[in-house]
A and B are shown apart, each in its own frame.
Chain A
Amino acid sequence: MTNTTSATKTESETPEPRDYAAEADAWFAENVPADPGFMLPLTFMEVGEDRQFEFLRAWQRKVYEAGYLGAAWPKDYGGRGLTEAHQKAATRAMRKHRGPILLNAIGLNWAGPLILDIGSEEQKRAYLKPILSAEHIWCQGFSEPEHGSDLGNAQLKAARDGDDYVLNGSKIWTTQGNYADYMILLARTDLAAENKYAGLSFFLSPMTVPGITTRKLKKLTGEYGFTQTFFEDARIGADCLIGGEGNGWKIAMRTLEYERGARGGQAGGYVSIPPDLMEIVDLARSASRDGAPALSDPVLKDRMVGYLMDMHALSLSSERKRIAPLVEDHPMALPLMGKLEFSELYRELSEFALTLLGPKAAYYVGEPNAADDGWWARSYLNAFSATIGGGTSQIQRNIIGEHVLGLPKTR
Chain B
Amino acid sequence: MTTDISAALGQMGVSEEQADLLHVAAQFCREEWPPERARAMIEEERGYDPDLWRRIADLGWLGIALPEAHGGAGLGIGEVVPVAEQMGRTLMATPFLASTLAAQLLLMAGSAAQQARWLPRLASGELVGTLALGEPGDEMRALGENEEGGFLVSGTARLIEHAAAADLILLSVGSGANRRLAVLETATLPAGVLRRETLIDDTRRAFELTLRGFELPGAAVLRKEAAGPAVAHAELAGALLYAADMVGGAFRVIDYTADYLRTRKQFGKLIGSYQALKHPLVDAFIGYERARSHLYAAAHSFGDQERGEVAVRMAKAQAETAYAYAADRAIQFHGGFGFTYDCDAGLHRRRALYDASRFGDARTHRKRIADMLF
Which A residues touch B290, using CB under 8 A? 309-310, 313-314, 317
Size range of the chain A interface in the assembly: 35 or more
CA distance A409 to B11 in the complex (A): 37
Residue among A282, A406, A407 facing the most chain B CB atoms (10 A cut-off): A407
Chain A CB within 8 A of B36 CB: no
Instruction: Contacts A282-B3, A408-B262, A410-B273 given; indicate if A341 touches B279 (C-beta within 8 A).
Output: no
Residue among B19, B23, B290, B317 facing the most chain A CB atoms (10 A cut-off): B290
B contact patch SS = helix
Within the complex, the shortest CB–CB distance from B365 to chain A, in Å, comes to 9
A405 and B318 contact, CB distance less than 8 A:
no
Which A residues touch B3, using CB under 8 A? 278, 281-282
B258 and A309 contact, CB distance less than 8 A:
no
Output the nearest chain A residue to B259 by Cβ-Cβ distance.
A406
Q: Mark A31-62, 1 if CB is under 8 A from B, else 0.
A: 00000000000000000000000000000000
CA distance A202 to B70 in the complex (A): 66
CA distance A337 to B286 in the complex (A): 7
B14 and A341 contact, CB distance less than 8 A:
no
Q: In B257-296, which residues have CB < 8 Å from any A CB?
A: 258, 261-262, 269-270, 272-275, 278-279, 281-283, 285-286, 289-294, 296
Within the complex, the shortest CB–CB distance from B75 to chain A, in Å, comes to 16
Q: Mark A304-332, 1 if CB is under 8 A from B, else 0.
A: 11101110111011011001011001000
Instruction: Contacts A278-B5, A281-B3 given; indicate if A305 touches B285 (C-beta within 8 A).
Output: no
A316 and B297 contact, CB distance less than 8 A:
yes
Question: Using a Cβ–Cβ cut-off of 8 Å, how many residues does chain B contribute to the interface with A?
Answer: 50
Chain B CB within 8 A of A340 CB: yes
- How many A-B residue pairs lie within 8 Å, measured between CB atoms? 132
B293 and A316 contact, CB distance less than 8 A:
yes
Chain A CB within 8 A of B9 CB: yes
Q: Mark B60-90, 1 if CB is under 8 A from A, else 0.
A: 0000000000000000000000000000000
Chain A CB within 8 A of B55 CB: no
Binds B, one of A76-84, A116-124, A351-359, A394-402: A394-402
Chain B CB within 8 A of A212 CB: no
Which A residues touch B19, using CB under 8 A? 325
Within 8 Å by CB of A408, from B13, B18, B270, B286, lies B270
Chain B CB within 8 A of A132 CB: no
Which A residues touch B341, using CB under 8 A? none
Which B residues touch A402, using CB under 8 A? 278
Within the complex, the shortest CB–CB distance from A96 to chain B, in Å, comes to 11
Instruction: Contacts A312-B9, A401-B278 given; indicate if A407 touches B258 (C-beta within 8 A).
Output: yes
Chain A CB within 8 A of B123 CB: no
Binds B, one of A64-72, A231-239, A294-302: A294-302
Which B residues touch A410, using CB under 8 A? 273-275, 278
Binds A, one of B37-45, B102-110, B194-202, B366-374: B366-374
Chain A CB within 8 A of B31 CB: no
Chain A CB within 8 A of B22 CB: yes
Which B residues touch A279, using CB under 8 A? 2
Output the nearest chain B residue to A306 by Cβ-Cβ distance.
B366
CA distance A320 to B297 in the complex (A): 9
CA distance A409 to B261 in the complex (A): 11
Considering the complex of A and B, which 3 residue pairs feature the smallest CB-CB distances, nearest first? A313-B290, A407-B272, A325-B19
| Residues of B bordering A, CB below 8 Å | 2-5, 9-14, 18-19, 22-23, 251, 254, 258, 261-262, 269-270, 272-275, 278-279, 281-283, 285-286, 289-294, 296-297, 314, 317-318, 363, 366-367, 369-370, 373-374
Known: A298-B367, A398-B279. 10 other contacts (CB 8 A): A281-B3, A302-B370, A309-B318, A317-B290, A320-B12, A401-B282, A402-B278, A408-B261, A408-B262, A408-B272
Q: Give me 30 A-to-B residue pairs in the complex whose CB atoms sit less than 8 angstroms apart, sorted by A's number.
A: A278-B2, A278-B3, A278-B4, A282-B3, A302-B367, A304-B374, A308-B5, A309-B290, A312-B10, A313-B290, A313-B291, A313-B318, A316-B11, A316-B12, A323-B12, A323-B13, A325-B22, A333-B289, A397-B275, A397-B279, A397-B282, A400-B285, A401-B279, A404-B285, A405-B281, A405-B282, A407-B278, A407-B281, A408-B262, A410-B274
